[in-house]
Structure 1
C-alpha cells in the first residue's frame, strides 16, 4: 500500500466530502482524485516516467497537493523545495537531485530565468498561475529564454485524463527526497520510500486519532516534512478535511478555526507563542479544537502551560526528523501528557537512548536518541558514506541527546550537532559560515544560536575582518544574497580574534557564554 492507492480508497468512501478548503473554496475528494489523475497523465505525456525526479517549488495551496500526489501516481520521485530559497540554494538542490521537471508559481519565473544556464537537466517548467494583483509585475513570458520549457498547470489539468493508471509502485521505491541542511554546509537528500511515508502517515493518524470528522488546520509549510505527514498525508488517508492556510497569521488562524470549527491544529512553538500573545483572542476562539500538536523544536514548558490555560486545549508535543518521515514520538492521548517531554514511541516505531557504543542506557541517563521502524529513510541520495554513518544495523542515529524516564517518555536534552532552530526551521552554523567565508574581507567566522523570545533561537555571528570599514549591514546584505531569510544572522559582532583551544579549534562555548553574560 502507498499514499496514492490509499487516497483512491478514501475517495471511494468519502467522494463528496470536502478534502480541501482553500480561501473559501471547497474541493471534494472526488474532485481531488480527478485532478490528480489528470495531472499524472499529463506528466506522463511530457515524458515523465517511473523514477524521474520532479521538483515542487510551491507554498501551501491545492497546487502543491495535486502536484505531490499527481507526480507520485505517475511514478515520479518528488523533491519539495522551499520557494523562499535563493537561486543558489534552489539550483544546488535541483542539480544534485537530477530534476527533470519543476512545478512552480508564475511569480517565480524571473528567478528560474536567472538560473536557466545552470539547470541543464530541467526539461519542463510547469507554471501555476496566480491571480493578478498590484504586486504582480507584467511579464511577457514569450521573451524569456526558458519559454520553450514552460507548460501551464491549468492546461495540463484541462487536457489530462480523469482515469489514469500509473506504473506499479513498490514499497521500496523512493517517493520523496527531502533535502535537509547538512553539517558539511550542503543539504543532503533524505530518500523516503512509499513504505516510509505511508506507514508514518497511517501510524500518526491512528496515534492522534485523526478521523473523517476532523478538520485539520494546514498552515505549516507543505514542503516541510512535519506538515507533509501530520497535516497533509495523515488526514487525507483517513478522510479528514484540510483547511489550507497559505500564510500563518494569528488573526487568520483564529478566524478560520472559528468559522469552520476546525478540530486539529499543528504548529511549531513560535506559532503557539504568536497565538498566545494575540491580545484580541480568548478561549472561545479555539473551542472547537480537540487537540493541538507541536513539533519542529522543543516547546518551552511555560509557553505550553500558558497556551493550555488561556485556550483550554491540550497541546501534544512530539518529535521527528526528515530521515524518519518524520514522526517517532508523540505525547499519547489516552495517558497523562508530560510537559517538557516528546512523549512515547508511536506504534511500529522504536526509540532508544544509547551510549557511544550503541548500548541502551537505563532510565534518566543522557545519550544519543536512535530510531528504528518502517518510517526510517532508505538513505541519503548519492551519499553512501553519510548513509552508512547515519543508519547502523537498521537504527537511525538522530544526533540528538535525550533521556527516557521510567514510564517510557522521552526528553530531548540538547542537540548533539550544532544545529540552530529558527521558528521550526533548521539552520546549520557551517552553512552560514561558508557563505561568509566567501566574502573577500572575512578572515574568520563563527555562528551559533542564541535564545530568541519569538522564534526560539536566532542566528548570531562573530567575525574577524581585514577591512575595518566593513559594517554589519554590508555583511547582512551579502548573506541575504546567498541564503534564505531565516538563515541570515540576526546580528553580527566584530572581534579582533575568535577564542580557540590549543589545537586552533574555535571555542563556540566561550562565545555563547560571552553572549549570555551580556
Structure 2
C-alpha cells in the first residue's frame, strides 16, 4: 500500500512536538492532533458518501481547514481538486463539471459565490472539534492511483486538470526533503497558496517532522517577524519576494539571521537580484524549476547549497532531482 498520508501515522507514534503553526489563529498542532483531525474530516467525507476515486473540490482561503481537508481526501483514496479562493462562480462551475466533482468543501463566506452551483457543499465549522477522533485507517492506494487534479492557469485555453498520483506526490515529497535536507529541528515558513502545488514544500516539512508555519497571505512585515520570532531556518520565497528582501534596511535583514536557505520558483530570478541577495545575506537560494504536472520537483531541476562553492554566473536552474532524466 502506498497512501501518502501514512507519514502522519509514523510521526504520531514517534514525535512529541508541534509540527504545524497557524499564526493568524495562534494555533499549534502536533502529529497526533493532525492525524485525529484528518481522520475526523475523512470520516465525515465518507459519511457524506465520498468513496475512493470520487472527486472533491476545495474552495477555501489558506487555513488549517484547507491543509487538513487535502490530507483527508487523500486519506480516504478520493481525489482532491484544490482551487484558489479568487475563482468566480462560473470558473468553479467549469471545474466542477469538467472534473465531475461530487462535493465542495468551503466556508460560510463563500455562500454568495457557490449558491447557484449544482454541487453539495460541506462546511467545516471548527476543525479543532475533530481532535480526539478515532484514527481512520488509510485507504489502500497504489503508485498510479489518482489523488489530485491540479488545474493549470489556462494560458493556452481553458484550464486543464493535471492528473497527479500518490506516486507523484511520493517522489515530490522525497525530493523536497532531499534537496532542503529537512530535519526535525527545522522551522519552515510557507507563503505559497495551498491551492498551488508549492504547498508541497510545506507537506514535505511535515513529513520530516519539522515545524511548518503557513501564512494566510504574504505580508512583508509579518513575514519578517515570523522569521525572527520563530527562528525560521528554511524560508519560502519567489523572485519578487527576494527582490524585496534586497531592498530592506540593514537592521531588518537581521530578522533572517537563523535562515539557512530560501526557496525561489514560479518564475525566473534575475542574476543581478540573485547576486545582490547573496552578497547581503549569504543565504543559498534553492532555485527550483518544475511544473504543476510534476508537483514542482517531483520531476525537475534545482540549485542546491553545495553548488555555491563554484557558483559564478547565478543563472542556472541546477541539476536534475531524483527520478528525473534529461535529454
Q: Give TM-score, length-normalised by structure 2.
A: 0.92
Query: Which of residues 177, 200, 203 in structure 2 aligns to 1:229?
Result: 200
Matched, 1:168 2:157: no
Matched, 1:268 2:264: no
> Unpaired runs of 5+ in structure 1?
129-151, 353-518
Residue 214 of structure 1, CA deviation: 1.0
> Unpaired runs of 5+ in structure 2?
none
> Given that residues 56 and 80 in structure 2 are in contact (C-alpha distance below 8 angstroms), is that contact kept between their aligned partners in structure 1?
yes
SS of aligned partner of 1:34: helix
Residue 340 of structure 1, CA deviation: 1.2
Query: Which of residues 275, 282, 297 in structure 2 aligns to 1:312?
Result: 282
Aligned match of 2:162 = 190
Structure whose residues are more often strand by fraction: 1
Aligned match of 1:444 = none
Alignment of 1:506-517 (within 5 A): none
> Given that residues 183 and 208 in structure 2 are in contact (C-alpha distance below 8 angstroms), is that contact kept between their aligned partners in structure 1?
yes
> Given that residues 215 and 243 in structure 1 are in contact (C-alpha distance below 8 angstroms), is that contact kept between their aligned partners in structure 2?
yes
Matched, 1:126 2:122: yes
Query: Which of residues 32, 42, 45 in structure 2 aligns to 1:43?
Result: 45
1:110-142, Cα deviation, whole Å (9 max, x unpaired): 1111xx2xx33x22x1224xxxxxxxxxxxxxx
Alignment of 1:199-238 (within 5 A): 199-226=171-198, 228-230=199-201, 232-238=202-208
Aligned match of 2:72 = 70
Q: 1:199 to 1:253 in 2, by over 3 A?
A: same
Supply the distance in 2 between the matched residues of 1:153 and 1:350 (Cα, whole angstroms).
44
Aligned match of 1:339 = 314
Supply the distance in 2 between the matched residues of 1:54 and 1:156 (Cα, whole angstroms).
21
What's the RMSD between the two structures over aligned residues? 1.9
Alignment of 1:350-499 (within 5 A): 350-352=325-327
Aligned match of 1:377 = none
Q: 1:308 to 1:164 in 2, by over 3 A?
A: same
Higher RCO (C-alpha under 8 Å, 6+ residues apart): 2
Matched, 1:61 2:33: no
Residue 11 of structure 1, CA deviation: 2.1
> Given that residues 7 and 207 in structure 2 are in contact (C-alpha distance below 8 angstroms), is that contact kept between their aligned partners in structure 1?
yes
Supply the distance in 2 between the matched residues of 1:202 and 1:11 (Cα, whole angstroms).
19
Supply the distance in 2 between the matched residues of 1:64 and 1:286 (Cα, whole angstroms).
28
Q: Give TM-score, length-normalised by structure 1.
A: 0.59
> Given that residues 283 and 312 in structure 1 are in contact (C-alpha distance below 8 angstroms), is that contact kept between their aligned partners in structure 2?
no
Residue 193 of structure 1, CA deviation: 0.3
Residue 196 of structure 1, CA deviation: 0.4
1:399-454, Cα deviation, whole Å (9 max, x unpaired): xxxxxxxxxxxxxxxxxxxxxxxxxxxxxxxxxxxxxxxxxxxxxxxxxxxxxxxx
Q: 1:108 to 1:255 in 2, by over 3 A?
A: same
Q: 1:155 to 1:33 in 2, by over 3 A?
A: closer
SS of aligned partner of 2:158: coil
Residue 105 of structure 1, CA deviation: 2.6
Supply the distance in 1 between the matched residues of 2:59 and 2:320 (Cα, whole angstroms).
32
Supply the distance in 2 between the matched residues of 1:34 and 1:49 (Cα, whole angstroms).
19
Residue 57 of structure 1, CA deviation: 1.4
Aligned match of 1:22 = 22
Task: State the structure with more CA Rg.
Answer: 1
SS of aligned partner of 2:114: helix
Q: 1:107 to 1:192 in 2, by over 3 A?
A: same
SS of aligned partner of 1:334: helix
Structure whose residues are more often helix by fraction: 2
Supply the distance in 2 between the matched residues of 1:166 and 1:188 (Cα, whole angstroms).
28
